[in-house]
Structure 1
């Protein structure tokens, strides 16, 4: 059975705690959540262990149980939004998103062309949660 948010696409640019938890709740309700993580390290909460997730052989991985819990049900994309190519890809995803969730410092995403005013020009119906 499809969840009540199965018709919603969420672009998740959040990191650590509140933002990932909000988008995780939306994923639990059926939304398609596309989480953007930075190259190399990904979301900071990957390292919030122990406890660590274990692989099929019972060995600890580098992903914390918190990260796995708060990001279940999401699609994850590694994207460097500090470079023009990454910014262009993020804007392309934002064109088809219904909701964007971010928790950067005020004005940070605008530096990358991903602020509310900039994305509103591409997608007037985008709900921008900051």
Structure 2
């Protein structure tokens, strides 16, 4: 993470050693956040393809910030699980359900799909 004040950037990488950018992962996380009502990456800077830009308004309340971070946590978890093959078509495997339920409780935004995981 890096930034100033409330404007922060979170760089997503595929490998922590080489710091190879994870642009596709960032795009998937951004889309998942948008689906739940959180807008990220409103402004794109050249060369920032794998950086999540967080810029909440100065008037954001603590509950709003908590909700935004819960949505972001949910999106990061879902997209990473999908990429790792632990989820199929957005349906969580059993090991992901508890985490997704916690995210849903914190945000009130729906959480994990009600469908059962594929057998």
State TM-score, norm by structure 2.
0.28
Larger helix share, 1 or 2: 2
State TM-score, norm by structure 1.
0.27
